[in-house]
Amino acid sequence: MPQLKADTPNFCIILLIALFNFTSSCKQPSQLTGANISQELRQADSLMAAQKRHESINLLIRIRKKITPTDPSISDYYSLLSECETALLLKNRYADSALAFFSSEARKQQYPKKYYKALLAKGESSIFLKQYDAGLRYYYTARHIAAVGDCENGYLSTKIANIYYKQESYKLAARYWAESAQLLKKCDDKVSLQRSFYTQQSALNGSAISYEKAGYPDSALIYYQKDLALINDAERRHIDVNAARVVVYDNLGGLNLKQGNLKEAARYLNACIATPLKETDGIKIPPYVKLAKLYTQTGEYKKASAAFEQARLRFNVYGKQNPDGVIIWHKLYAEYLYKQGKLAQAYAYQNKFIRLKDSLNTSSSGLLRLDVSRELHSLYQQQAMRNLSHKDRVRKLFLIGTTVIVVLSLIIIFLIYRNLKRREKAHRETEEHNRQLEQAMAELERVNKNYIRIMRVMAHDLRNPLSGMTGLAAMLLGEDEFSEENRHMLGLIESTGMHTMEMINELLKTGLADENEKIIVQLLDVRSLLFDSVELLQFKALEKQQRIVFESDETPIMANVNHEKLWRVFNNLIVNAIKFSHEGSSIKVGINHKHKDILVYFADNGIGIAEKDKDSIFEMFTPAKRVGTSGEQPFGLGLSISKRIIEKHGGKIWFESTPGNGTTFFISLPPAE
């Protein structure tokens, strides 16, 4: 199955077949000795894509008799055979045979794409043999063959992505796989439909898994959905997609399990297991392990035991191909036994998990220490040095006599002397810069302490006028001559003053520094709270001839929230919309509960957010501060505080913006259960 699994990646078969085996099918008819050999090589490649490894190898053995040692097809033959082989020594031997055809520079120039494939095969076998430096040298050489195109470079990207994945550099791996998925689209006219599907599908799946492990579940879900769309399209074209569907369902089940969506996780995992597929590499081990974990969490121990047993039966056959899966199984089984009260057995399985984990970490320590970017850069420098060395040798042919050598020596001495002087000067400048930096840091610390002191004094002094305002509003509410509308307005003034006093008390209590304390929540009507905020700020909007439109029905929307903190977020976002909207414009504020979460939005038609500022808009003291449409001064704190408050409530805050056409901020909150 040409796939990467999220929790138990089967690198010996899955990645060997899916991510490194795609270069063997690029078509170069003018370089083949006959149409029959070319067709049979493509057929062997298609069999490999369909997970029919033994049939592919048998066909390659029959093809070998038809190829002479001087035929360039011999390189394609051994490259494909190396990619099909799982025994590491044989894999390396076949890669050496593929590369041996290019013993002369003339052949490398004449058949660049075949040479490219042979280099990738040799690089792959070196990586599997843990000869990482050698493997990167072959990849580096392949990368600098100018005659190959985007299609071939897509295969190289998968190999680099796999190295980063094994190093647990998941963000980089995701980027390389996403790049590979785009480049591999250029292969559609060079390979079979089945091969084209599996190369692109595997790259999308690899990118999704890497984003998931990097902590970006939303990005992972996007790529899983792209993967499913590709699978559904291939199924309509009558391509066998069951193996791909098994892996994607398994990974989606794992993603939902991590996010606590147990019902959705169970649906995907059971669909994965129910998908008809002949197992040749333990492909259904991961879904059984995840189901066992799910049932253990839900207390369905009988089902958990059955799932553990199904996984164990497959380990007996495919355990060597799934070392990570074996380790995870022991960890989860220890947890299962512990919940059953079988402490001695749980302790034994936990110890075995630790031993297996340590053993795997030891075996992969060399790869984890490998800095791919640095090694590739080092290879580039070595190549540059070789080129310079060659140029120097050519120049030396034109040097005449010892007089020229002496002159060059004097020049070199002068350059060394000048460089030493420059280095001394740079060293002195660096020391002076460090001294100035230390002084600046000390001054900054002093200013920061003064700032906090001043802010605390201001917050303390603000309580008196606010207290008077609140008391006056309460006194007026006791009078009878006010209309219902005026009493409502006085109530808003009183509640606003009280909430502001509570915020000031919080600031004083926490020293104006802590937004991470545990919040105290209560069951409230979020719609009513949002409506009150809109009503309160209608007056501020009228100062700029603006109108705030509240979009919601009368149905209460209940959630467990902190009244003061959520009121603070709503006010921040509405005030921002007023500040950055033009005079006479409308601002839309709404709330609904059409989906599983409560969705609140604040939409304006103002100046929008520039592209360069979008990544830093939620940072504390963000540099992305802009003056309002009427000259209002920004402070750069509101969005950062709002984001912390919403995340403390288990929600999310994001925005969509087009510069010049306005911004919409969204808040999602979990509803009351």
Q: How do residues 523-549 score in pLDDT, each as one tens digit?
A: 999 999 999 999 988 888 898 899 999
Residue 523: predicted pLDDT: 94
Provide the residue count of the chain.
673
pTM above 0.75, yes or no: no
- Could you tell me which residues come within 8 angstroms of residue 29 by beta carbon, excluding any fewer than 6 positions away? 35, 38
Task: Check whether residue 529 and residue 643 sit in a common domain.
Answer: yes
Position of tokens 């990738």?
120
Grade residue 17 by pLDDT with cuts at 50, 70 and 90. Answer: very low
Q: Is the dihedral of CA 179, 183, 188, 192 positive or negative?
A: negative
Task: Check whether residue 596 and residue 508 sit in a common domain.
Answer: no
As given in the structure block, the two tokens for residue 460 are 């303390």
Q: Using an 8 Å Cβ cutoff, are 41 and 80 in contact?
A: yes
Domain count, the chain: 3
Task: Check whether residue 461 and residue 598 sit in a common domain.
Answer: no
- Could you tell me which residues come within 8 angstroms of residue 517 by beta carbon, excluding any fewer than 6 positions away? 510
- Could you tell me which residues come within 8 angstroms of residue 599 by beta carbon, excluding any fewer than 6 positions away? 591, 592, 593, 666, 667, 668
Domain stops at, among 194, 212, 230: 212
- Residue ranges of alpha helices (H) inside 280-342 are 285-298, 301-318, 323-339
Residue 214: predicted pLDDT: 87
Average pLDDT score over residue span 466-478? 73
Position of tokens 């060997």?
16
A 10 A CB-CB count for 299 gives 9
Domain stops at, among 178, 212, 246: 212
Task: Check whether residue 497 and residue 583 sit in a common domain.
Answer: no
Q: How do residues 70-90 score in pLDDT, each as one tens digit?
A: 888 888 888 888 877 777 788
Compare 638 and 10 and report the one with higher pLDDT: 638
Task: Check whether residue 555 and residue 506 sit in a common domain.
Answer: no
As given in the structure block, the two tokens for residue 454 are 């001043």
Average pLDDT score over residue span 348-359? 78
Domain harbouring 456, CATH code: 1.20.58
Closest to 283 in 3D by CA, of 4, 45, 68: 4
Residue 602: predicted pLDDT: 96
Residue 147: predicted pLDDT: 62
Q: State yes or no: pLDDT of 644 exceeds 50.
A: yes
Window from 552-556, 569-573, 625-629 with minimum mean pLDDT: 625-629
Task: Check whether residue 34 and residue 72 sit in a common domain.
Answer: yes
Task: Check whether residue 48 and residue 67 sit in a common domain.
Answer: yes
Task: Check whether residue 10 and residue 112 sit in a common domain.
Answer: yes
Q: What is the mean pLDDT of the chain?
A: 79
Position of tokens 């006219």?
189
Grade residue 668 by pLDDT with cuts at 50, 70 and 90. Answer: very high
Distance CA 158, CA 649 (A): 40
Compare 564 and 506 and report the one with higher pLDDT: 564
Q: How do residues 603-618 score in pLDDT, each as one tens digit?
A: 999 999 888 888 888 8
Rg (CA), the chain: 33
Residue 14: predicted pLDDT: 35
Domain stops at, among 188, 212, 236: 212
Task: Check whether residue 509 and residue 607 sit in a common domain.
Answer: no
Assigned domain for 332 exists = no
- Could you tell me which residues come within 8 angstroms of residue 389 by beta carbon, excluding any fewer than 6 positions away? none
Task: Check whether residue 470 and residue 571 sit in a common domain.
Answer: no
Q: For the chain, what percent of residues have pLDDT higher than 90?
A: 13
Distance CA 103, CA 91 (A): 20
As given in the structure block, the two tokens for residue 627 are 């003056």
Task: Check whether residue 507 and residue 530 sit in a common domain.
Answer: no
Tell me the helix, strand and coil percentages in the chain, rounded to 5: 70, 5, 25
Assigned domain for 260 exists = no
Domain residues for the domain of 182 are: 1-212
- Secondary structure (DSSP) of 58-86: HHHHHHHTT--TTSTHHHHHHHHHHHH--
**Single-letter residue type at 412:** I
Average pLDDT score over residue span 150-161? 77
Residue 549: predicted pLDDT: 94
Residue 180: predicted pLDDT: 82
Domain harbouring 110, CATH code: 1.25.40
Q: Using an 8 Å Cβ cutoff, are 333 and 301 in contact?
A: no
Residue 366: predicted pLDDT: 54
Q: 3-state class of 261 per DSSP?
A: coil
- SS3 sequence, 373-429? HHHHHHHHHHHHHHHHHHHHHHHHCCCCHHHHHHHHHHHHHHHHHHHHHHHHHHHHH
